[in-house]
Amino acid sequence: MTRISLWALSTLSVLVLLFGYHTSTEGAATAAAPPAAYSGTLAGTTDPTTDPTSSGSTSDGSTSSGTSAGTSTTYTGDSAQTQWGPVQVEVSVADGTITAVQVLQYPSGNGKDAEINGYALPILVQSTLDAQSADIDMVSGATVTSVGYAQSLQSALDQAGL
C-alpha cells in the first residue's frame, strides 16, 4: 500500500513540474515590442531626423537635410537577407563624415531576436560612428545580424562614395 501511495505522489509531482515549466516560446508573446529603429548620432552634429530645417530628396534617391553649417545627406543601404530576417541600414553623411546611423530593418520575429538585437544594434551603430567605415567587429552572440548589418552598411557607404 505504501508503494502505491509513493508511486501516485511521485507521478503527480512529475506531472505538476512538467506542466508548470515555462518554455521559451511563451515569452515571445509577452515580450515587449522593440523600437521601430535603432539610431545613433555622432556627438556635436545635428541629427537629420530631428533637424527643424528644410529637407528634400536628391537625384540618387537619398535624402538631404541642410543647415547653415553644411548639408547632411542620408544614404539607405540595400536590405541584407539573413536567415533570421532582413537587416537594412541608413547612414547620414556630412562633409565625408558619418554623422548618424539608423537601422531600419532587423530580425524581430520573436523575443530572442528582440533580446539579441536590443543588445547588438547599439554596439554596431557606435562601432560604425567610431570607425567611420564598415570595418567593424562582429558582436558575439549576434553574428547573423552583424553580418547583415555590415553588408547593408557597406552598400550605403558605397552610395556615399566612402
pLDDT digit string, tens, across residues 60-83: 444 444 443 568 889 999 999 988
Of all residues in the chain, what percent carry a pLDDT higher than 70? 70
Residue (of 112, 86, 90) closest to 99 by Cα position: 90
Which residues, other chains included, contact 80 with Cβ-Cβ below 8 Å and sequence gap of 6+?
86, 87, 88, 147, 148, 149, 151, 152, 155
Q: What does CATH list as the number for 34-160?
A: 3.90.1010
Q: Where are the domains of the chain?
A: 34-160
The pLDDT tens digits for 7-55 are 888 898 888 888 777 665 544 444 444 445 555 654 443 333 434 333 3
Task: Examine the pLDDT at 152 and tell me if it is beyond 90.
Answer: yes
Identify the DSSP state of 33. P
